[in-house]
Structures are given as structure tokens and as C-alpha cells.
Amino acid sequence: MNLDYIPGPDALFDVWQGNFKTHAKAGATRFGIPAAVIEELEVKQTRWETAFAIANDLATRTQAAVKEKQEARDDYEAELRRFIKAYLAYNPAVKNPDRENMGLHIHKTTRTDSPVAPYAPVINAKADGTRRVRFDFGESLTSKAKPAGQHSVRIAWIIREEAPTSYDELLHTKERTRTPLILTFDVPKAGKRLWFAARWVNNVEKEGPWTEIQSVVIP
């Protein structure tokens, strides 16, 4: 059983997101979603659809186009997950037929909680081109698998010279359901130190333990 409602392959993701956004926007008033939130989602959708079309056409496909497509998807997918969690997942106005129309999981009448991960992910950070940091993660150094019942890995980070003394100081987060996770930074961030930690998040948004806080220099 696929526990993730967002498809992995780009072509399937593109079909899913278009259907999802159409139904979410149509029900926005009933679901209590502000118009400004829908507009912000549409900006990210436009970036994705433009980048996907360019990268999917042999006449316009370049390495830069493929990079932009991946970054656009990462940005859009992260926003979709935040949107669904904030406005749909626990909203009593959203009924099971709505979830089915939007391509989301149907709520069961009886619920079985997924286990909280008992251990942190193994994560390796390395330079991946100019101003890009790549995070490879999994259960072990040799396995890219996630523990049973885990939906994604969540990485929290901050850019500064001095080491954080608590996880609360890692102010930025990004989530990824499959390895690798890539962060891309603007020019002024090159050469600065990125502090980070990671944890598993299960299928009902319960978090496992953090890794130790580690650091890498942004190339």
C-alpha cells in the first residue's frame, strides 16, 4: 500500500497536483481557506508547470532546465504538504468525498496509529554544485529505506558561524519523502556554515528523535 498521497514520478505528480488544486480552489470558501493562500499556491503551481513543460520537451530540455524543474517541484510539494496539513487534513468541513476528489487519503472510521521512529535517520551532507547542499538519508549508511510507518524526513537548519545550543535555534525546515533532499542558496550564502539536524516523521505527523546537530559549509 502506498502511504503517500503525492505520486513520486513527475508526470503522475503533475496530473495529481492539477486535479488537487482545481478541487481545493473550488471548495476554498466552504473549507475556510483564504483567497491569498490559494493565490500563493497558484504562484508555485505556475512555476512548477512551466519548469516541467520546459524540462519535458526535448527541444528545450537542458541541465539547467532539469535543475529548475526539480527545485520547482521541491518548493511546490513542500507548500502543498503545508497547505494540506493547515487547511484540509483536520478540517471537519472537508468530507471523505472531498478527499477522494482531491486525491487525498480517506479517513477511516477506526484509526491505527503509525509507530513513532525509535531512532534518528542516518544523514550525510555534501556539496552538490554551486550553493547547493545535498542530504542523503536512510535507515543506515547502506540503506535508503525509511523505517516502517514513516512518511518523510524533516531537516531543520540555520546559517550562522556559531554552533546552535538547542534544536529550537534551527529556524528553517524542509521535508522530503525520498532521498536526496537538496537545498539551494543565493549568492551571499556561499561560504557560510549551515547547521542542521534531521528526524523521521510518521504518517500521522508524529516525530522521532533528532540526529545530532551537524554542520557543512555552503559551496
Q: What are phi and psi of 172, to 5 degrees?
A: -110, 145
Percent helix, strand, coil in the chain (nearest 5)?
A: 35, 20, 40
Judge whether residue 111 has pLDDT over 90.
no
Judge whether residue 76 has pLDDT over 80.
yes
pLDDT band of residue 107 (cuts 50, 70, 90) is low
Per-domain residue ranges for the chain? 10-102, 122-217
**Residue 209, number of CB atoms within 10 A of its CB:** 13
Please state which CATH number belongs to domain 122-217.
Answer: 2.60.40.10
Residue-wise pLDDT for 164-186, tens only, equals 999 999 999 999 999 999 999 98
Is the whole-model pTM more than 0.85?
no
User: Given this model, what pLDDT does residue 1 score?
Assistant: 35
User: Given this model, what pLDDT does residue 152 score?
Assistant: 92
Give the whole-angstrom CA distance, residue 18 versus residue 57. 19
User: Given this model, what pLDDT does residue 8 score?
Assistant: 84
User: Given this model, what pLDDT does residue 213 score?
Assistant: 97
Whether residue 175 contacts residue 200, with contact meaning beta carbons closer than 8 Å, is answered with no
Per the DSSP assignment, residues forming a β-bridge with 137 are: 123
Give the whole-angstrom CA distance, residue 10 versus residue 114. 27
Give the whole-angstrom CA distance, residue 2 versus residue 203. 11
Q: Tell me, rounded to whole angstroms, the distance of Cα 205 from its chain centroid.
A: 13
